[in-house]
Amino acid sequence: MSPTLFSPIQLGPLALPNRIFMAPLTRCRASDGHVPNDLNAEYYAQRATAGLMISEATSVSPGGYGYPATPGIHTEEQMQGWRKVTSAVHAAGGHIFLQLWHVGRISHPVFQRDGALPVAPSDVKPKGQVFTGTAMEEYVTPRALETSEIPGIIGEYVHGATLAKEAGFDGVEIHNANGYLLDQFLRDGTNRRTDSYGGSAANRSRLTLEVTEAVAGVWGADRVGIRFSPAGVFNDMNDSNPMETFGHVLRELNRFGLAYAHITQVTAQDIAHGAVEGVGPRELKPFWNGNIVSAGGFTLASGNQALAEGWADAIAFGVPFIANPDLPERFRRNAPLNTPEESAFYGGTEKGYTDYPFLD
């Protein structure tokens, strides 16, 4: 009999009560110094009935920010802030992974020390604008990382993973999606390098594999997940042969025995911005031996269908969890869902963050 969203699942050493995961959701409500706070702890604790929560993207480096009031995991104060969150989640019976993040070129000198340029695999300027905290400004052309700097980038992920462990998380997810630094290295639309980190799919996968091996060395591979958006065009991303690129990296990642691969499916919004169907968790499953978590506009019905068809093992819900802290129970009862307040998605106070009603 096929599992449903309400079936338990074993992820490495973690016995999780359901397959309704909370997707990583940037909410821009960290305190000064990119430190998580009591309000963040309340928000996550409210949603602790998710089988697993994946935290909002969290920078491993002072140079890894590209948005205001997003949290970090590279200082002692940030670690202590996150400890408040994990303590609240565990007291509520939940499980939570920290998503490790570096935005790469999707930044601006205002976010960088001494107004430096953001870094990237190559000096390819992204289209579009960035909100700097006061205004929308054009992205800048990033500085291409020197080969000699790459071990330092890997070291930042290791440091973040180490602090995440000290903060009490149950594991970590490596953010290798949505046009941020590791995704920029992986895809040939943004990686024009001619060294050992550019050119072939094997070379473009190198940094992903090295970061994964290093982070698994901190946590144990069975407490590490990794996220990909193979059809995504967000942040001006593209690849000339995504099946080859993502098939290769997934096949190589099999040797680690990770907790899961989090592979997003293309959504109608993606397609409206130029994405094409045909490369997602269903198509990439033959390359991957482990658990697949998928996200991207799922409903209760389509999530159960994906599990029944066997190309996903758990489903991560984003916007539904913003507006419905008790989403698993609402699904279980087929109860109506709260309407999300989109104007409060990014930044602000408890309004549109911790004030959504529960069923009971």
Q: Which residue has the tokens 């949505």?
A: 178
- Tokens found for residue 176: 């290798």
| DSSP letter for each residue of 237-272 | ---S-HHHHHHHHHHHHGGG--SEEEEEPP-HHHHH
301 SS3 class = helix
Task: Choose the catalytic residue: 157, 180, 353, 356.
Answer: 180
Q: How far is CA 122 from CA 107, 119, 132, 188, in A?
A: 14, 8, 22, 10
The single-letter DSSP state of residue 220 is -
Whether residue 18 contacts residue 31, with contact meaning beta carbons closer than 8 Å, is answered with no
- What stretch of H or E contains 130? strand 129-131
User: Residue 178: helix, strand or coil by DSSP?
Assistant: coil
Instruction: Tell me which DSSP letter residue 337 carries.
Output: P
Distance CA 83, CA 282 (A): 36
β-pair partners for 314: 293
180 included as an active-site residue: yes
Lookup result for tokens 């973040």: 160
Using alpha carbons only, give the angle 191, 197, 199 rounded to the nearest 5 degrees: 60
Active-site positions read: 180
